[in-house]
Structure 1
Amino acid sequence: MSENNFKEWYNSSQTKPMSEKQQKIVDAAIEIFSEKGFSATSTSEIAKKAGVAEGTIFRHYSTKKNLLLSIVMPAMTNYIAPFLTKSFVAEVFQQEHSSYEGFIRTILQNRYDFVKEHLSVLKIFAQEVFYHDELQDQFKETFTEEVYPKFLDVIVHFQEKGDIIDVSPQIVLRMTMTTLIGFIISRFIVLPNNDWDDDLEMEKTIHILISGLKKR
């Protein structure tokens, strides 16, 4: 979902139609939060970009945090979380994989494509999830209920086949997630302007991870 598509979805998802000023506030907040982060963004900046008085923001949202949550929480609850679980599970966990490397390759490509398509709102989420309990709780619920048990089942399957080392599946999961998420965050959040060769970087990431997990 591109930034424009997210704005269209957000506007259409509201149970009560937003006024023209509210739409301008939300559009401006998405753009600036994504670029600068929540803490570095002032309501006066949002108001200036939206072409409204700063008091209009507080009249609709009371606080800057309420404005943030009004953008991210509906997206997580009604769009991104369901899409993450249903699509991710269907596209990754319901496929047959001949090796753990093939499984990892599918995950990395799937999440790379997902983040690239939904970058604006996911940047906001990634920047703020460590600072807001509401966002952490939503993410934990989504991951632990839908993804975590299926991921462990796959790991145990390939351990039983002798494809990867026989250590705690939770350790394998942590190694896998840390490596893959580290690449995604570096690529899209920390160093997005680097001269990336994405295909090569993904191959190197997979190679390093599998070299450490492969049973010898």
Structure 2
Amino acid sequence: MSEVDEWLAELIKMNDDAEKMTHKQIKIVQAAVEVFSSKGFAGSSTSEIAQKAGVAEGTIFRHYKTKKELLLSIVAPIMTRLITPFALKDFVKVLEADYPEVEDFLRAVIHNRMNFAQKNLSVIKILLHEIPFHPELQQQFKEIVAKQVLLRATKIVKHFQVQGKMIELPTETAIRFIASSAIGLILIRLLFLPEADWNDEQEIEYTIDFIMHGLAPRG
């Protein structure tokens, strides 16, 4: 399994713990991710997924009753079990590490999430496509972000504020400021301008400088 298919290896591993995925089911899931990520859920068809997977369309419906059930079988585990223990396992280490300066924290966060996004871009595309249209996915995302990320990030922001290294903003505002800048960089780089002739390290440093000009204490 290549690095690009890291998400699929984890999904197979999770299912093997409960009910082993068949070879055809693995092919269906892999094809579905490719189709959903390129065309979105609404623009995709089970016949197209079956063709890409090299199986009969009826085979899909033996495993999944509807197209939405197929989507949720991919996205729901990713949301609840991949994002939490897998996608966040290295990120939590980043959030729990001790950083002498705000810039060190920001640099570690951006590098970590850029690396994760590069390895799991097809799945991230599906999440971006579908979360706005599926309330159950929105709720899962909110719970995961609130429980796994927001609490830890709040602790870090407050720590730097107490040290006088970050402006006294409401912590959620500061986190939103950081997240919008970092996520914006990652999405533009990987989704909108993947072929751009950028110096990625320099762009990361520009982003950090931009954030720090907004968060630096006045004085």
| Common fold: TM-score over 0.5 | yes
Counterparts in 2 of 1:123 and 1:162: CA distance versus 1, 3 Å: same
Structure 1 residue aligned with 2:50:
47
Counterpart CA distance in 2 for 1:13 and 1:89 is 20
Counterparts in 2 of 1:195 and 1:62: CA distance versus 1, 3 Å: farther
1:200 maps to 2:210: no
1:9 maps to 2:10: yes
1:129 aligned counterpart, secondary structure: helix
Counterpart CA distance in 1 for 2:29 and 2:57 is 13
Q: Is the 8 A contact 1:2 1:119 kept in 2?
A: no
- AA of the residue aligned to 1:189: L
Q: Is the 8 A contact 1:29 1:46 kept in 2?
A: yes
Unaligned runs of 5+ in 2: none
Counterpart CA distance in 1 for 2:11 and 2:147 is 25
Q: CA RMSD in A?
A: 2.0
Counterparts in 2 of 1:94 and 1:21: CA distance versus 1, 3 Å: closer
**How many residue pairs were aligned?**
215
Counterpart CA distance in 2 for 1:95 and 1:201 is 24
Counterparts in 2 of 1:58 and 1:209: CA distance versus 1, 3 Å: same
Counterparts in 2 of 1:48 and 1:191: CA distance versus 1, 3 Å: same
Counterpart CA distance in 2 for 1:6 and 1:149 is 25
- AA of the residue aligned to 1:146: Q
Structure 2 residue aligned with 1:126:
128
Structure 2 residue aligned with 1:111:
113
Q: Is the 8 A contact 2:6 2:120 kept in 1?
A: no
Counterparts in 2 of 1:149 and 1:8: CA distance versus 1, 3 Å: closer
Q: Deviations over 1:197-216 (max 9, x none)?
A: 21121111111111111113
Shift of 1:69: 0.9
Q: Is the 8 A contact 1:43 1:64 kept in 2?
A: yes
2:165 aligned counterpart, secondary structure: coil
Q: Deviations over 1:136-161 (max 9, x none)?
A: 22221111112212211221221222
Q: Which stretch shifts more, 25-34 or 11-20?
A: 11-20
Q: Which stretch shifts more, 23-32 or 192-201?
A: 192-201
With normalisation by structure 1, the TM-score equals: 0.88
Report percent identity of matched pairs.
44
Structure 1 residue aligned with 2:25:
22
